[in-house]
Amino acid sequence: MSLLAVERLDVRHGQLQAVRDVSLAVREGETLALVGANGAGKTTLLRAIAGAHRPVGGRVLLDGVDVTQVPAHRRVAQGIALVPEGRRLFPGMTVEENLLVASANGRPGPWTIERVLEVFPMLRARFRAKAGSLSGGEQQATAIGRGLLTNPRVLLLDEVSLGLAPVAVERVYACLESLISAGATLVLVEQDLGRALRVATRVACMLEGRIVLEGAASGMTREQVTEAYFGLGRGALPKQAA
Amino acid sequence: MIWLNQIIQGVLLGGYYALIACGLSFMFGVMRIINLAHGDLAVLAAFLVWAIVDRSGMSPFLALAIVLPVMGALGWLLQRAMLERSLRAGVLVPLLTTFGLGIVIQNLLFEQFGADTRSLAPAIGDLAFDSWSIGSQIYVGHLAGLIFMVAVALLGGLQLLLARTPLGRAIRATAEDPDTAELVGIDARSVYAAAAAIAVMTVAIAGTFLGMRAAFAPYAGPAQLIFAFEAVVIGGLGSMWGTLLGGIVLGVAQNLGAQIAPNGFLIAGHTVFLVVLGGRLLRQRMRRAS
């Protein structure tokens, strides 16, 4: 059975339907990359899975249990964590406090602050600095660490490389890859197609709120994804890759 | 010597203002709600303590221990039933609803207790008028000293709570970003309700001391609110130690004003408040311009 499943999800922002009839499933240990142009509905989909945005239709299932009506903070306790777009740290609190808040309110599990510092050693020097004063890369590391400290069963990562220097992106992805090889279950939104295809086991491409292409990352070419990404050849939608 | 005395008395008076302002500051800092019923809640607590003392003859301090959880529950209920809903409609709506709540409290108190002025001073015996003498000309009232110490302890305690405890961190995280707080597992609604309960409990303490050091009547709340509000603004909104400092600045200014001219008490206090507020606005404008 899949660890996380989304069934026929519809999410609206007022008049705008941002996610239309989306279904997908993620198995334990899998990494699903969501790609798509700006405004395709990726962030909204992640927020709906995390419970930050209530869908108007469809279901979200965690380990077969319907959590669609469960508020965000209780979904954290059940094992869904979102590292939001723009990192959204608590800027007036220190790195340590940002991490402590998560470990105090999440699930019990293997992640401790010490382990987060092992994965992101650059945070050691900034441990007592206000989160608002960190560089983009340090903020992203703190945000991912904060997500991990809730000991999620599924970690949702929204645009972790956005606004970061290339060096910082490399560092963050090196850490993510070590998480993936350790068996973590991830859903990540990534603008960089090459990177998405490299780290993910599966890729889903969104266009105007729908998933227009989904399949194993290994069996998918850049051209296929690009075509779906821009909505070329729409006569044949929806497509299914290998 | 007389000036020194005025400063010392002003600092002690400032302790009382800080005590009254504590809950207002806490509520604003956490929930961005300016609670206009703040003074009325203090008077309500004073009446509750007075009613218990009047009926049972017990010490007001003991009566406060009974009233404290009642006021905490009231704060929790207030948040869940009223403030939470009104905050959803925008930042200005809580001003209106708490203003209305204040009027309701005043009139309920009037209905229940009548227009008589009451005081808890008769119930605390010597504490109401005893003093320590420093030198030959300066006297520090036991009650004023106690109030000052309670204010320092309470504000310091809240500061510690916010800085060092899991609940405090959850409160600060929720204050900074309630949506993201939910995403790290914090139940933002419960945190808000807990913060409201804490704030109203501090109001109960302040109200009891109001009743001990002076007299109160059903419509006495708004006058308390003004001084509390001024102390909070002078000290910087939402900062606990700032609130203590703001209270002291206000108290000292009032006492020095009174020494200069008999009617200088209120004028000096309000002037300091306006100068600080004006300075803040000016600095903000200059920062925006640059």
Q: Residues A180-236: pLDDT tens digits? A: 888 889 999 988 888 888 899 999 999 999 999 998 888 888 888 888 888 776 555
Beta-strand runs (E) in B38-192: 118-119, 131-134, 138-141
Among residues A215, A209, A203, A207, which one has the least CA distance to residue A45? A209
The tokens for A213 are: 């292409």
pLDDT in tens, A56-98: 999 999 999 999 999 999 999 999 999 999 899 999 999 999 9
| Residues of A engaging B, defined by a Cβ cutoff of 8 Å | 50-52, 71-74, 76-77, 81-82, 84, 88-93, 97-98, 100-102, 104-106, 146-147, 150
Q: What is the largest CA-CA distance in chain B?
A: 63
All structural domains of chain A, each given as residue ranges with its CATH number in brackets, are 4-236 (3.40.50.300)
What does the alpha-carbon distance between residue B133 and residue B147 come to, in Å, rounded to a whole number? 17
d(CA A192, CA A201): 15
Mean pLDDT, residues A23-42 taken together: 92
* Prior bond of A238 cis (ω within 30°): yes
Counted domains in chain B: 1
Considering only CB atoms, A76 lies closest to which of B176, B179, B185, namely B185
pLDDT given for residue A242 in this prediction: 44
**Nearest-CA distance A219 → chain B (Å):** 34
State residue A233's pLDDT score. Answer: 63
Q: How far is A25 from chain B (nearest CA, A)?
A: 21
Report how far residue B87's alpha carbon sits from residue B81's, in angstroms, rounded to the nearest whole number: 11
Backbone Cα Rg of chain B: 19
Closest partner CB to A101 (pick from B169, B179, B187): B169
pLDDT averaged over every residue in chain A: 89
- Residue A109: other Cβ atoms inside 10 A: 14
Best residue of B183, B186, B190, B192 to probe chain A, by most A CBs closer than 10 Å: B183
Beta strands B131-134 and B138-141, pairing class? antiparallel
Q: Helix count (H) and strand count (E) of chain A?
A: 8, 10
What average pLDDT score do residues A150-160 get?
A: 93
Q: What CATH number corresponds to the domain at position B280?
A: 1.10.3470
Closest residue in B to A144 (Cα) is B184
Decide if A36 contacts A20 (C-beta within 8 A).
no
DSSP B120-163: SGGGGGGGGT-EEEETTTEEEEHHHHHHHHHHHHHHHHHHHHHH
E-strand ranges in chain A read 4-13, 16-26, 31-36, 57-62, 65-66, 80-83, 154-158, 186-189, 202-207, 210-216
With an 8 Å Cβ cutoff, are B184 and A76 in contact? yes
CA dihedral A32, A118, B180, A31 (to 10 degrees): 0
Chain A residues whose beta carbon lies within 8 Å of the beta carbon of residue B166: 100, 104
User: Hey, which bits of chain B come out as E strands?
Assistant: 118-119, 131-134, 138-141, 215-216
- The encoded tokens of residue A149 equal 């400290």
- C-beta separation of A146 from A90 below 8 A: no
Which residues of chain B have a CB within 8 Å of the CB of A97? Answer: 169, 172-173
pLDDT in tens, chain B (290 residues): 788 999 999 999 999 999 999 999 999 888 888 999 999 999 999 999 999 999 999 999 999 999 999 999 999 999 999 999 998 888 899 999 999 999 999 999 999 999 999 999 999 888 888 889 888 788 889 999 999 999 999 999 999 999 999 999 999 999 999 999 999 999 999 999 999 999 999 999 999 999 999 999 999 999 999 999 999 999 987 688 999 999 999 999 999 999 999 889 999 999 999 999 999 999 989 998 87
- Residues from B contacting A (CB-CB < 8 Å) are 166, 169-170, 172-173, 176-177, 179-188
- Let me know: does B250 contact B2? Beta carbons within 8 Å: no
Left if phi > 0, otherwise alpha if psi is -120 to 50, otherwise beta: which for A9? Answer: beta
Query: Which residue shows structure tokens 């996610």?
Result: A19
* Residue numbers of the domain that contains B182: 2-289
pTM beyond 0.90: the answer is no
